[in-house]
Amino acid sequence: MEPTPSAEAHMREALALARANIPTGGRPFGAVLVREGQVIARAVNEINQTQDPTAHAELLAIRRASQHLGSARLDGCIIYASGHPCPMCLAAMHLCGIQAVYYAYSNEDGEPHGLSTARVYGQMALPPQSQSIPVRALRPSGEQGLYDAWRK
């Protein structure tokens, strides 16, 4: 999908949001979520303001768009992000059906400033048992039927 002139305008808005977030103590990340050419949600990174490590601009835009549209599915939506999405944000985009994502600054651009998530991408590429955070199955004896209960 090739960017259009309106796509560049949406990206400029994401960048303006990111720049405006800096003087308030925020990190330099902004996101604009668009469906059929219309802006559905805008957000900035709020980690420093909220002490919530998941308060990334892309995730907040997804949350706001889902609430606005009344749906956990965002099929056909496009996200314009000032920086390369981290694995958490990209996973959320896959899970909710985002059609495409465009970013202005790469992980390489962010690396000298401590703003790259390339290391996390490296961890995620490893099998779970080889990652730096142990990921192990643990089902207590006698535990069964949770997913069956949900299905009913």
103 forms beta bridges with 81
Q: Left (φ > 0), alpha (ψ -120 to 50) or beta: where does 71 sit?
A: beta
Average pLDDT along the chain: 95
Expressed as residue numbers, the domain containing 30 is 5-128
The dihedral built from the CA positions of residue 132, 50, 21 and 35, taken in this order, carries a sign that is positive
The domain total for the chain is 1
Instruction: Indicate which residue of 2, 36, 58, 143 is catalytic.
Output: 58
Q: What is the mean pLDDT of residues 24-32?
A: 97
In this structure, are residues 98 and 76 in contact, taking their beta carbons and an 8 Å threshold?
A: no
Residue 136 lies in a domain: no
Q: So what's the pLDDT on residue 135?
A: 86
pLDDT of amino acid 3: 66
Q: In the numeric block, which tokens belong to residue 8? A: 């560049």
58 is an active site residue: yes
Of the chain, the percentage scoring pLDDT greater than 70 comes to: 98
Q: Which pTM value belongs to this model?
A: 0.91
3-class secondary structure, 82: strand
**Domain of residue 44, CATH code:** 3.40.140.10
More confident position, 5 or 118? 118
pLDDT band at 5 (very low <50, low <70, confident <90, very high): confident
Nearest residue to 45 (alpha-carbon basis) of 96, 1, 110: 110
Assess if residue 135 is contained within a domain. no
151: in domain: no
- Amino acid type, 125: A
